[in-house]
Amino acid sequence: MDFQPDLGLAAFREEVRAFLRDNLPEDLAGRIRIGTRSPRAELTRWQCILNEKGWGAPYWAKADGGTGWAVLQRLVFDEECTAVGTPSQDTGAQKLLGPVLNAFGTPAQKAEHLPHILSGARQWCQGFSEPGSGSDLASLRTRAVRDGDQYVVNGQKIWTSYAHRADWIFLLVRTDTEVRKQAGISFLLVDMKTPGITVRPIVSIDGCHHLNETFFDNVRVPARNLVGAEGEGWKITKFLLNNEHATAADLPMLRRCLTQIRMLATRRCQGGNVLLERHEFALQLARFEAELAAIATLVQRVAALEQDHSPAAHAMGSILKIRGTELLQKMSGFLADALGDYGAVAYPIPQEGDAAAALPMQEVGRSVANEMFFRRASTIYGGTSEVQRSIIAKSMFQL
């Protein structure tokens, strides 16, 4: 791995910063809400701005209508957007479904869905996890039975992020019960307005509603919405989950959290002195900085492996996922502790359409407790730490 500064990457970073400075509307800046998706109107408006620039799909190949950026360029883009607080994109559609359709979709499926992802007009949710089938995803029980030119879907999904706001869902279903469990899974695209779909909200420990239970009761789905062939769902899912190993650590959010701690270090006083003058605070801050620097170096290494299509990127991405999410949990907990009374209050997160009220220590105090609660799940979503360790162990055994 070459540690020399990449002048081309530095120039690209300046290009992204200039674009954000000139094109990000003032009322859309600073709108990060923990790790959740932006309100629909904000997301769509920002997506239109990006698409007009030709940056509507930062994670797709140029031939597929994307930017064709290298892995490190995508990381820079994410980092700079996080730094200024742009609205989110529909990451499920951008990072997960889009690459799947580009690789496995029919021309009709691409024509139907990709333009709407680029424009932000159609939002998606992911129907994978089920009660009892989270980490062991291959044990899913939602059935899809072929009936002429349709599939009839029955079952339940859980932890379905943004199902209550989504227009469509990409869904894993079991189409064959006679073969081994991985071989009987298929990948369907389903319009959320289809009769028989019920969405029930789950309010999570951070006080937000972004999760849902989703029920399918004799839902009829056109057979043309099958992606790939019957039984290829597991292969497609492995492709989907193996994308973007270098982003597993969520480096932009780690840096944002560290910036909040640094800000707090010189603004909050305890016993007449700023927190940075307290030995235990300064020591912990230094540890966080060292850990984050190590993760940032590992991110560059994994990005280089991805660029070379090295199979080692898979296990290294699992290492990043463990180290990054555990560090984020530690930093968000430390931030809440260091805020004292301010950190003990789970200030409400403004929902769509709400006015943002001024709060004490607003720069660092807003929703710190909510974010700490949200990050309790970071070692679970996207593949639990236990699953990641199994991937690492299996990789080492193969060596």
Please count the CA atoms within 13 angstroms of the CA of 1 that sit on its side-chain side: 12
Of 334, 315, 336, 314, give the one whose Cα is nearest residue 326: 334
Report d(CA 110, CA 119) in Å as an integer: 14
Question: Strand 185-191 and strand 168-174: pairing?
Answer: antiparallel
SS3 helix, strand, coil % of the chain, rounded to 5? Answer: 50, 15, 35
Report d(CA 251, CA 299) in Å as an integer: 8
Q: Which two tokens stand for residue 324?
A: 């990054």
**Cβ burial, residue 384 (10 Å; 0-12/13-18/19+):** middle
Q: Categorise residue 158: left if φ over 0, alpha if ψ from -120 to 50, beta otherwise.
A: beta
Beta-bridged to residue 201, according to DSSP, are 212
Q: Which two tokens stand for residue 16?
A: 């992204």
Report d(CA 387, CA 48) in Å as an integer: 37
Instruction: Choose the catalytic residue: 80, 244, 291, 371.
Output: 244
First to last CA, the chain: 20
E strands, the chain, in order: 124-127, 143-147, 150-157, 168-174, 185-191, 197-203, 209-222, 226-227, 269-270, 273-274
Report d(CA 70, CA 254) in Å as an integer: 22
Q: Please, are residues 295 and 249 in contact by the beta-carbon 8 Å criterion? A: yes
Report d(CA 139, CA 127) in Å as an integer: 14
Reply yes or no on whether 244 is catalytic. Answer: yes
Residue burial 218-252, b: 16+ Cβ < 10 Å; e: rest: ebebeeebbbbebbbbbbbbebbbebbbbbbbbbb
Report d(CA 111, CA 125) in Å as an integer: 19
Q: Which residues are catalytic?
A: 244
